[in-house]
Structure 1
């Protein structure tokens, strides 16, 4: 059993490291092929690193490249993650940010186009896919992600307002440095980035599930063997067609868990009826396996 556990753990480490490399390549493509030629700023710490590069080019005798700036700006957040989250989380975050900085430095820009709209859309899409892929595999890309996890764990609140304020400053900086139309282009890139990331990373999207079954105990056992979710039971339901006795089960899952739910239902009651709908907001305890 210990050998199996070691193999699974090693496989998880290899998967995370490989995903870190893929993300690093994608973010370097977004920065070097689209954002930099189009004078577009990214969100978060990456955008701050781009801004630092622009300022150092114009006003400092030495240019601080985006790759170097990205790593340096993340160092205080690494220390915060080490103390407040976990060592394993911090190690993989350092690996991801280091590879991203390295790839941004190593991959030479290809001047595909200078059209700011094209650069905004495709840069945002490439980076959004990379970020979503990283989050889907349990990897943080550094930056405000770390601050968000710490604040969420300590206060139960998100840092949505902090994100909005920070990214608003980045957008205004783009307008100041390159002209105000580029503020709107950067905002467009942020929107595309967020939409593609949501399409790729579905773990944060909640769904309400209603299951109608005549085998409630079997279904409950199967679902809870596959998923760590609580279930509410409504007894004495009746089917309108054959007037047979039914039980209604309610739970909430993430969209990422839909496949496991379907597998659990097929194993326990292939004739069960299940309805899934998007949930706008959840109040109360909802298990989140992310750090």
Structure 2
């Protein structure tokens, strides 16, 4: 029950935040930033349809898809978001337009709306509309949530060519990019870590540097060369992104021909990252502490 209430709170706050960005930045500047919300901007210009009413009615068939593909629990939470978001747009409709500059509206509005949608996604829900399609794609494909949103909302932005000029649509594309990136940052965090894998004859000296100078744990992984069949040892460690430059420089000073592979680690849990580091030898650790 506590988790459900927390999710509903996140959806409520996120919907209000996104609605504020929509009414104070997007609507009057004709920023059709994707999704059903973007279509509502275009259709208000073409047919004078009220955005909140349009969103309420178009969510009905999409909610049926949500029930089929995302399950009853997500449907119930999405039902609340799809109802509350249009209401939030209606309640914030009287907010003044904060800027007449469409570029500023696209940039700052994108951050506000993206932050609001990020909160909604944290609540394991959506505001309805193409957000439902986004979650379906994210669930049944390897695409990240932000990339799935960019793809589905891109179709909505393209509809802006019918209602607005090319410049306005390009501002809408900028807004969509800012929204997607903001959601991405909330999804993976602003400063992801890096996995470092090193193959070198000087692995003992490199291991000593990682342990004593870098103060990070390191794993020794036995490998075999595919061409020579020679047995070797690969070192693996996880460090913060800001440590990469100095780490790579120090490794190449030890062995100028060391083979180094650096891969993103968008979510890291454990001692030294999400937990306080301590210095006791734990038998079950994968990457042992110093």
Number of aligned positions between the proteins: 233
Q: How does 1:41-56 map to 2 (within 5 A)?
A: 41-56=32-47
Q: How does 1:115-194 map to 2 (within 5 A)?
A: 115-151=101-137, 153-154=139-140, 166-194=152-180
- For residues 167-213 of structure 1, the C-alpha deviation after alignment (integer angstroms, 9 at most, x for no partner) is 4443343344232210111111111112222222217998664699x
Q: Which has the larger radius of gyration?
A: 2
2 CA distance for matches of 1:155 and 1:247?
32
Q: Is residue 72 of structure 2 the alignment partner of residue 83 of structure 1?
A: no
Superposition RMSD in Å: 3.8
Structure 1 contact 265–272 (Cα < 8 Å) conserved? no
2 CA distance for matches of 1:160 and 1:14?
25
Which consecutive unaligned segments of at least 5 residues does structure 2 have? 212-217, 221-235, 239-262, 282-287
2 CA distance for matches of 1:254 and 1:269?
25
Shift in Å, 1:265: 7.1
Change in 2 beyond 3 A, CA 1:211/1:79: same
Q: Secondary structure at the match of 2:179?
A: helix
Which consecutive unaligned segments of at least 5 residues does structure 1 have? 1-9, 58-62, 213-236, 274-291
Q: Secondary structure at the match of 1:194?
A: helix
Q: Could you tell me which residue of structure 1 aligns to residue 289 of structure 2? A: 272
User: What TM-score do the two structures reach when normalised by structure 1?
Assistant: 0.65
- For residues 236-286 of structure 1, the C-alpha deviation after alignment (integer angstroms, 9 at most, x for no partner) is x7466499xx7436799963444777245725758727xxxxxxxxxxxxx
Q: Could you tell me which residue of structure 1 aligns to residue 53 of structure 2? A: 68
Q: How does 1:21-60 map to 2 (within 5 A)?
A: 21-57=12-48
Shift in Å, 1:23: 1.0
Q: Could you tell me which residue of structure 2 aligns to residue 222 of structure 1? A: none
Q: Could you tell me which residue of structure 2 aligns to residue 12 of structure 1? A: 3
Most deviating of 96-105 and 160-169: 160-169
2 CA distance for matches of 1:124 and 1:256?
24
Change in 2 beyond 3 A, CA 1:154/1:121: closer
Shift in Å, 1:159: 9.6
User: What TM-score do the two structures reach when normalised by structure 2?
Assistant: 0.65
Q: Secondary structure at the match of 2:277?
A: helix
Higher helix share: 1
2 CA distance for matches of 1:77 and 1:169?
16
Shift in Å, 1:104: 0.3
Shift in Å, 1:40: 0.8
Q: Is residue 266 of structure 2 the alignment partner of residue 255 of structure 1?
A: yes
2 CA distance for matches of 1:144 and 1:90?
14
Shift in Å, 1:29: 0.8
Q: Is residue 99 of structure 2 the alignment partner of residue 113 of structure 1?
A: yes
